């Protein structure tokens, strides 16, 4: 009885803390987004960047067994609008014909390129350069995982900024122009994250999203609402208070020199994107380097979301493992004023509410059920639990849809808005519990020391709604 009471109180406190934090982030996000949109209107981003003086960017594209999609993905990157950039595809020891496909498609020939940083990676076999697109390079190396491939690309990149991409990420043509803006406006910027959107359901042609629409499948539809909440509320809110700890591995831009000095991507975690951002906070603060890590909502990268429960479960479990690996590695940041907002606010939030959240939630649901079944629950407790665990969460998801509606309005169809609102309202009834279960599995895998990426079934980006390419295991999956 006492045990049940304690669990119930802890669960209530947890839900209150989680949702109130999110409420605070939501309240910070509304004016932030409003001002950002107004600012975009007055700055004419393209005009700003069409001028000389924009910072050149190296695009790092790790690829593992991507023979089916790599040529098309690379072609899509070659069409980006940006004054000066290079593409470095890193073949991470593929077992298929990835290198041959690229060599044939872009007339790649052996080349020399001295590495400009010395981050240890698996052996580099050869460097190739396209004879038709001189800014396209291929680093062919032994297998070492996504982070290792990114490090090899980083070693061979030459420009002051680099973008870490997944091979299957579709960038909007002006995404680089837009994500480079924080680096222009603030020299202290060392990293910037972008908006990741889900491409399932969209009409895609020639590597570009032509028409945005919701898919007709529940699992990716739920994820769209989740992504809106994660990016419009989470990322925007944390950015507003300088506490960004996550930049999605699907698309983020970093200052090369700082990342190289900090040691590059960590190869012994499945959450190398978050780990790098947390390490950058530490590195800059421990070395008294003025810095800024930003999130900007207007550059967009499209990614394919899992469409089956199995794939989604694997992805969420892996994200939870990555979170656990990162947070335990940098435990010295916890509540430490030396690390500013990231240490005092963002780290404890992620540690107590995101890392231990699934465990507390699962116990809370169980305890709530038992309390109800035994007839021990007071009406006040039931209302408080339902309010905090179900309704407040739904309200915050509705707020995320509102933020999308007041800013970029990508989903123009009335049906899409109705579906998103409907899903926002019922997301906390079932879907959230599945996530809790997968994240618990992730915690268990972390405790077991599992460091496997696993594989994800992909449909690929076809001409419509993604159906053309065969399923393939990939080095870099979707965003966190």
Partner 1 sequence: MIMVVWSVVALVAVNLALAGGVVFLRVRNDFRARRWHRIEGRWYPALLDLLAGDTTCAVLLKHVETREVEPVLEICGRLARRVSGDDRKIVREFARPLLSGLSPALVSRQPERRANAIQLLTSLGADDEFHTEIAEALADPSPLVAMVAARVVASRKRIDLAADVLGQLDRFEMWSEAFLASMLASMGSQIAPELRASFSNAESSSTTRSVTARALAELRDVPASDIAATIIAADGGQDRTLTIAALRVIEVVGQSKHLEVVRPLLGHADSAVRARAASVVGKIGVVADSPSLVAAVGDMDPWVAIHAATALYQLGQLDKLRELSRSPGTGSEAALEALARGAS
In eight-state DSSP terms, residue 54 is P
Residue 97 has which token pair?
């014909």
The answer to whether residue 379 forms part of the interface with partner 1 (CB under 8 A) is yes
Q: Roughly what angle, to the nearest 10 degrees, separates helices 272-286 and 309-329?
A: 20
Q: What does the buried/exposed string (b/e) look like for 358-394 if buried means 16 or more CB atoms within 10 Å of the residue's CB?
A: bebbbbbbebbeebeeeeebeeebeeebebbbbebbb
The answer to whether residue 338 forms part of the interface with partner 1 (CB under 8 A) is no
Residue 202 has which token pair?
């969209």
Window contacting partner 1 (CB under 8 A); options: 40-48, 68-76, 94-102, 466-474: 40-48
Window contacting partner 1 (CB under 8 A); options: 25-33, 295-303, 351-359, 378-386: 378-386
Residue 170 has which token pair?
């579709």
Q: How far is CA 453 from CA 101, 152, 440, in A?
A: 25, 19, 17
Q: Which residues contact 51 (CB under 8 A, 6 or more apart)?
A: none
Minimal distance in Å, beta carbon 150 to partner 1? 19
Q: DSSP string of 92-128?
A: ES-SSSHHHHHHHHHTEEE-----SS----SPEEEEE
The answer to whether residue 48 forms part of the interface with partner 1 (CB under 8 A) is yes
Window contacting partner 1 (CB under 8 A); options: 183-191, 216-224, 305-313, 346-354: 183-191
Q: How many CA atoms lie within 13 A of 421 on its CB side?
A: 9
User: Which listed residue (5, 9, 44, 328) binds partner 1 by CB under 8 A?
Assistant: 44
What is the distance between the alpha carbons of residues 446 and 443, in angstroms, rounded to a whole number? 5
Beta bridge partners of 86: 58
Minimal distance in Å, beta carbon 105 to partner 1? 20
What is the distance between the alpha carbons of residues 294 and 282, in angstroms, rounded to a whole number? 16
The answer to whether residue 1 forms part of the interface with partner 1 (CB under 8 A) is no
User: Which listed residue (186, 208, 457, 464) binds partner 1 by CB under 8 A?
Assistant: 186
Decide: 142 and 179 in contact? Cβ < 8 Å: no
What is the distance between the alpha carbons of residues 15 and 391, in angstroms, rounded to a whole number? 11
Minimal distance in Å, beta carbon 328 to partner 1? 34
The answer to whether residue 375 forms part of the interface with partner 1 (CB under 8 A) is no
User: Which listed residue (132, 366, 376, 383) binds partner 1 by CB under 8 A?
Assistant: 383
The answer to whether residue 382 forms part of the interface with partner 1 (CB under 8 A) is yes
The answer to whether residue 20 forms part of the interface with partner 1 (CB under 8 A) is no
Q: Mask 408-437, x = binds partner 1 (CB under 8 A)?
A: -x----x--x---x--xx------------
Window contacting partner 1 (CB under 8 A); options: 11-19, 141-149, 211-219, 405-413: 405-413
The smaller minimum CB distance to partner 1, of residues 133 and 329, is found at: 133
Of 58, 60, 78, the C-alpha closest to 133 is 78
The answer to whether residue 323 forms part of the interface with partner 1 (CB under 8 A) is no
User: Which listed residue (20, 218, 374, 386) binds partner 1 by CB under 8 A?
Assistant: 386
Place of tokens 């950058």: 280
Map the footprint of partner 1 across residues 125-154, applying CB under 8 A: 134
Window contacting partner 1 (CB under 8 A); options: 2-10, 12-20, 233-241, 384-392: 384-392
Map the footprint of partner 1 across residues 98-117, applying CB under 8 A: 111-117
Task: Tell me the site size for partner 1, rule CB under 8 A.
Answer: 49
Residue 31 buriedness (CB in 10 A; 0-12 / 13-18 / 19+): exposed
Residue 416 has which token pair?
């899409």
**Rounded to the nearest 5 degrees, what angle is found at the Cα of 433, between the Cα atoms of 427 and 417?**
10
Window contacting partner 1 (CB under 8 A); options: 33-41, 71-79, 204-212, 218-226: 33-41
The answer to whether residue 159 forms part of the interface with partner 1 (CB under 8 A) is no
What is the distance between the alpha carbons of residues 155 and 123, in angstroms, rounded to a whole number? 12
User: Which listed residue (67, 405, 450, 457) binds partner 1 by CB under 8 A?
Assistant: 405
Give the end-to-end CA distance of the chain in Å, rounded to a whole number: 39
The smaller minimum CB distance to partner 1, of residues 71 and 384, is found at: 384
Q: How many residues does the chain have?
A: 480
Window contacting partner 1 (CB under 8 A); options: 51-59, 208-216, 303-311, 341-349: 51-59
Q: Roughly what angle, to the nearest 10 degrees, separates helices 392-406 and 218-228?
A: 80
Place of tokens 């291929």: 138
Window contacting partner 1 (CB under 8 A); options: 311-319, 331-339, 382-390, 465-473: 382-390
Residue numbers at the binding site for partner 1 (CB under 8 A):
35, 38-39, 41-44, 47-48, 51-55, 111-117, 134, 183-188, 379, 382-383, 386-387, 390-391, 394-395, 398-399, 401-402, 405-406, 409, 414, 417, 421, 424-425
């Amino acid at each position: 009885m006492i045990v049940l009471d304690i669990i119930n109180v802890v669960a209530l406190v947890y839900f209150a803390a989680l949702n109130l934090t999110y409420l605070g982030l939501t309240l910070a996000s509304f004016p932030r987004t409003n001002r950002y949109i107004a600012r975009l209107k007055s700055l004419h981003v393209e005009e700003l960047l069409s001028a000389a003086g924009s910072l050149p960017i190296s695009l790092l594209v790790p690829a593992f067994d991507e023979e089916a999609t790599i040529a098309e993905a690379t072609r899509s990157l070659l069409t980006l609008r940006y004054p000066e950039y290079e593409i470095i595809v890193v073949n991470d020891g593929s077992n298929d014909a990835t290198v041959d496909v690229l060599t044939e498609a872009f007339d790649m020939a052996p080349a020399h390129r001295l590495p400009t940083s010395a981050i240890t990676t698996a052996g580099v076999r050869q460097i190739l350069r396209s004879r038709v697109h001189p800014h396209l390079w291929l680093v062919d190396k032994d297998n070492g995982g996504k982070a290792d491939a990114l490090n090899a690309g980083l070693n061979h990149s030459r420009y002051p900024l680099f973008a870490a991409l997944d091979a299957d990420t579709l960038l909007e043509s002006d995404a680089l122009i837009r994500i480079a803006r924080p680096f222009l406006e603030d020299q202290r910027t060392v990293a910037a994250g972008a908006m990741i959107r889900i491409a399932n359901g969209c009409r895609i042609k020639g590597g570009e999203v032509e028409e945005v629409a919701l898919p007709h499948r529940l699992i990716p539809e739920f994820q769209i609402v989740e992504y809106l909440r994660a990016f419009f509320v989470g990322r925007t809110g944390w950015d507003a208070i300088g506490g960004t700890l996550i930049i999605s591995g699907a698309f983020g831009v970093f200052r090369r020199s700082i990342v190289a000095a900090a040691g590059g991507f960590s190869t012994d975690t499945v959450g190398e994107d978050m780990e790098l951002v947390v390490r950058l906070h530490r590195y800059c603060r421990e070395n008294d380097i003025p810095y800024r890590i930003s999130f900007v909502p207007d550059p967009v990268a499209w990614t394919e979301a899992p469409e089956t429960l199995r794939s989604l479960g694997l992805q969420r479990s892996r994200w939870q493992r990555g979170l656990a690996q990162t947070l335990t590695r940098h435990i010295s940041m916890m509540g430490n004023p030396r690390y500013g907002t990231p240490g005092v606010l963002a780290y404890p939030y992620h540690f107590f509410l995101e890392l231990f959240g699934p465990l507390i939630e699962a116990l809370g649901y169980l305890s709530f059920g038992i309390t109800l079944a035994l007839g021990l629950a007071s009406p006040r407790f039931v209302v408080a639990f339902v309010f905090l665990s179900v309704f407040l969460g739904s309200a915050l998801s509705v707020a995320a849809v509102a933020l999308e509606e007041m800013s970029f309005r990508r989903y123009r169809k009335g049906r899409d808005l109705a579906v998103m609102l409907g899903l926002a309202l019922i997301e906390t009834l079932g879907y959230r519990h599945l996530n809790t279960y997968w994240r618990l599995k992730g915690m268990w895998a972390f405790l077991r020391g599992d460091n496997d990426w696993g594989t994800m079934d992909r449909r690929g980006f076809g001409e419509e709604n993604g159906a053309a390419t065969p399923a393939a295991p990939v080095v870099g999956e979707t965003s966190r």
